[in-house]
Structure 1
Amino acid sequence: MRSAVVAAGVVAMAAHASAFVPTMSAQQPLATRANFLRSAGAAAATAVVAAAATGPVAPASAAPLPAVGSAAPDFTLPSNDGGKAYSLSDLTGTGKTTVLYAYPGDFTSGCTIEARGFQKDIDRYKALNAQVVGMSVDSAEKHLDFKKKYGLDFILLSDKNAVVADKYGAKLDIPIIGKFANRITYIISPDGKIEKVFTDVESHVAQHSSEVLAYLESKKA
């Protein structure tokens, strides 16, 4: 399981290299961004080659994926909500099911598709008494730009050094590029327990929100 999740993370990193280059602005013209991504792709390819040689494994201290039924690891992180910090208890204290999704980076193709998918379905989540919360290594400021550009009506948490991703078994260290959060989604019950973990997200990111909703709706049946 761990090796499969790590492999998916390396593929995601190659596809979404722009997440880790802070000089690219979301406001740049499309042609400029396209040129940037072509050059960034070369850096990503180099990283993947290095990963193949050294092994794209998480650090020895990285936690395993949390087990279903176990307590979700606690955290407090700043957000796109004016920099306001949210803890796990803040989220579970609402009495809602929390859909916590870890992802590589704002403004990247797969992550944008994933976020917009959650946003498209946001009213259905609310009807199911569920809240969507994203988490990546991006800053709160970049999260705010991402939220504004795509009209995202949910919280994005800034896990700058992937400390919380580590606790959730989602942290990856990729040679040359560095630390990031793998694309994994956790369903956390109002009592703070892990209900379900989605690890195979990268292969069908555009349909991911639909599968999360299907799970939540099955609980109501």
Structure 2
Amino acid sequence: MEILKEGDTAPDFTSVDQNGKPVRLSDFRGKPVVVYFYPKDDTPGCTKEACNFRDNFSEYQKAGVKVLGISVDDTNSHKKFEEKYQLNFTLVADHEKKIAEKYGVLGDRNAKRVTYLMDRDGKIMYVYPKVSPDEHAVEVMKKLKELKMVQ
């Protein structure tokens, strides 16, 4: 399956977060959502990207933006990753690889590093098909403002 494109409606999904709590994309309708797929918990690039979202999370909270990090790792792996780096946003477990497949980001064994920006109605407004993890959270917030999705 191909990567989703701007203008597509983001496919809904149901899974669990790092605490085992249910997560449905449709629960966040009414607010902008950043869904970022990443290959694997606690690897160098994925850690940089997650910590960049962690360090900029207060700006996302103030703007009312929900951040969801998704990989094919399971809940236990996500919980360890969250605790080790004091992550302050939702990590979604996709160990059955169904979400990554729906979004066209499933690689050989892991999700590819792709980020989707969704508006309040679940429409994809912007896609980052290639991501540099170092300052990605800053880049995403800048794009959210540029697209007038946030103040």
Correspondences of 1:120-139 after superposition (within 5 Å): 120-139=55-74
Task: Please give the secondary structure, in 2, of the residue aligned with 1:117.
Answer: helix
1:191 matches 2:121:
yes
Match of 2:98 in 1: 163
RMSD of aligned residue pairs (Cα, Å): 1.2
What is the TM-score normalised by the length of structure 1?
0.65
Name the TM-score, length of structure 2 as normaliser: 0.93
For structure 2, the 5+ residue unaligned runs are none
Structure 1: 5+ residue stretches without partners: 1-62, 174-178
Q: 1:73 is matched by which residue type in structure 2?
A: P
Equivalent of residue 21 in structure 2, options 84, 87, 112: 84
Partner amino acid, structure 2, of 1:134: G
Give the Cα separation in 2 of the matches to 1:158 and 1:149.
17
1:23-76 CA distance string (max 9 Å, x none): xxxxxxxxxxxxxxxxxxxxxxxxxxxxxxxxxxxxxxxx21112112101110
What pairs up with 1:1-221 in 2 under 5 angstroms? 63-80=1-18, 82-92=19-29, 95-173=30-108, 179-201=109-131, 204-218=132-146, 219=148, 220=150
Runs of 4 or more consecutive aligned structure 1 residues displaced over 2 Å after TM superposition: none
Contact 1:65 1:169 in 2 (8 A): yes
CA distance in 2, matches of 1:217, 1:74: 24
Q: RCO (CA 8 Å, sep 6+): is it higher in 1 or 2? A: 2
Q: State the Cα distance separating 1:88 from its structure 2 match.
A: 1.3
For the 8 Å contact 1:77–1:86, the answer to whether it is kept is: yes
